[in-house]
Amino acid sequence: MVFQHKTSVYRYLMNIRENYAAGFFVLMDPDRTRREDVVEHALKCCDAGVDALLFGTSLMMRTGFEDMIGAVREAVNIPVIIFPGGRSQVTEKADAILFLSLLSGRNPEYIIGEQVRSAPVIKSIGLEAISTAYLLIESGRMTSVEFMSNTKPIPSDKPDIAVAHALAAELFGMKLVYVEAGSGAANSVPDEIIRRIADEIDIPLIVGGGIRSAETVSAKVAAGASFVVVGNHLENHDNYFDLKAFVEAAHSK
Ligand code: 1GP
């Protein structure tokens, strides 16, 4: 799908959703990606047909985030989207930001606090913000996002609770729902939760966390994911040979 920087990322994503079974995103964690490798890896993603690159982390152990995003954006012809762990990850070097609210938690800082602090900056730099409900689902052991956000995830065997949160997001007018098992999760988001949410909402559903095979991508798409995200598995760059299979698993109807 053709993307030109400065055009609406949201419209591009909706186009992907119409033309493929689902879109496929790669998450690049700036704490775990080396600056000298990042452009090469981003170009490999483009070659394999990845639809967008997400950049973000729950922590941020190093400097150079802006420089990394800017260098990648100059090199690729797919959107570079910030997936922020906090307001320090807002930069004009990206094409858009997922303007996340951690709706599954009850920590006001991650529902509205960080957002209030970052909104004026986002407005002043003219960055496209895509309003996104972020729902953390329990995945077998504590994840970084659970610890750092100091929130409890939704139990993985309680799809009704997940559905109610997704419906609240839709009623709020949010544009996307991201169901997250957490980066490196032992278990990905259960297909049953995806199916139940997808049956109830019209807005697109992003699914990520703990996905390590093309078969799992296919299962998430069959359950109703509109976009699938893989990060950790591809941080071992020997796994890049899998990329085309991951993309095809998402795209094929
Ligand atoms: C994490 O959903 C993303 O925020 C991707 O998770 O790193 O486990 O693939 P993984």
Determine the pLDDT at residue 39.
96
The answer as to whether 107 is a domain residue is yes
Closest ligand 1 atom to the C-alpha of 230?
9
What's the burial of 71, exposed, middle or buried (CB within 10 Å: 0-12/13-18/19+)?
middle
The answer as to whether 4 is a domain residue is no
The answer as to whether 81 is a domain residue is yes
Where residue 22 sits, what CATH number does that domain have? 3.20.20.390
Evaluate: CB of 229 within 6 angstroms of ligand 1. Answer: yes
* Mutate-to-test residue for ligand 1 from 59, 104, 143, 230, highest number of ligand atoms within 8 A of CB: 230
**Separation of 122 CA from ligand 1 center, angstroms?**
24
The answer as to whether 13 is a domain residue is yes
**Separation of 183 CA from ligand 1 center, angstroms?**
4
Evaluate: CB of 69 within 6 angstroms of ligand 1. Answer: no
> Do residues 52 and 13 touch, judged by C-beta distance below 8 A?
yes
Determine the pLDDT at residue 224.
98
* Length of the chain, in residues: 253
Evaluate: CB of 233 within 6 angstroms of ligand 1. Answer: yes
Structural domain boundaries enclosing 73: 9-251
**Separation of 105 CA from ligand 1 center, angstroms?**
18
Evaluate: CB of 224 within 6 angstroms of ligand 1. Answer: no
The answer as to whether 1 is a domain residue is no
Of residues 184, 172, 176, 1, the one with CA closest to residue 78: 1
The answer as to whether 198 is a domain residue is yes
Q: Which residues touch 252 (CB under 8 Å, ≥6 apart)?
A: 20, 21
pLDDT averaged per 10 residues, the chain (length 253): 88 97 96 90 96 91 90 97 94 98 98 97 98 98 95 98 98 98 97 98 98 97 98 85 95 91
**Separation of 212 CA from ligand 1 center, angstroms?**
10
**Total number of domains constituting the chain:** 1
* Mutate-to-test residue for ligand 1 from 25, 27, 81, highest number of ligand atoms within 8 A of CB: 27
The answer as to whether 2 is a domain residue is no
Q: Model's pTM, two decimal places?
A: 0.97
**Separation of 55 CA from ligand 1 center, angstroms?**
11
SS3 per residue for the chain:
CCCCCCCCHHHHHHHHHHHCCCEEEEEECCCCCCHHHHHHHHHHHHHHCCCEEEECCCCCCCCCHHHHHHHHHHHCCCCEEECCCCHHHCCCCCCEEEEEECCCCCCHHHHHHHHHHHHHHHHHHCCEEEEEEEEEECCCCCCHHHHHHCCCCECCCCHHHHHHHHHHHHHCCCCEEEEECCCCCCCCCCHHHHHHHHHHCCCCEEEECCCCCHHHHHHHHHHCCCEEEECHHHHCHHHHHHHHHHHHHHHCC
Please tell me the number of Cα atoms within 13 Å of 94 on its side-chain side. 27
Determine the pLDDT at residue 6.
82
Evaluate: CB of 232 within 6 angstroms of ligand 1. Answer: yes
What's the burial of 171, exposed, middle or buried (CB within 10 Å: 0-12/13-18/19+)?
exposed
What's the burial of 61, exposed, middle or buried (CB within 10 Å: 0-12/13-18/19+)?
exposed
Determine the pLDDT at residue 2.
80
Determine the pLDDT at residue 237.
75
Evaluate: CB of 139 within 6 angstroms of ligand 1. Answer: no
The answer as to whether 32 is a domain residue is yes
Q: CA dist 47 to 44, 85, 149, 174, Å? A: 5, 28, 35, 32
> Do residues 24 and 54 touch, judged by C-beta distance below 8 A?
no
Evaluate: CB of 211 within 6 angstroms of ligand 1. Answer: yes
Evaluate: CB of 234 within 6 angstroms of ligand 1. Answer: no
Q: Which residue has the tokens 């690159």?
A: 53
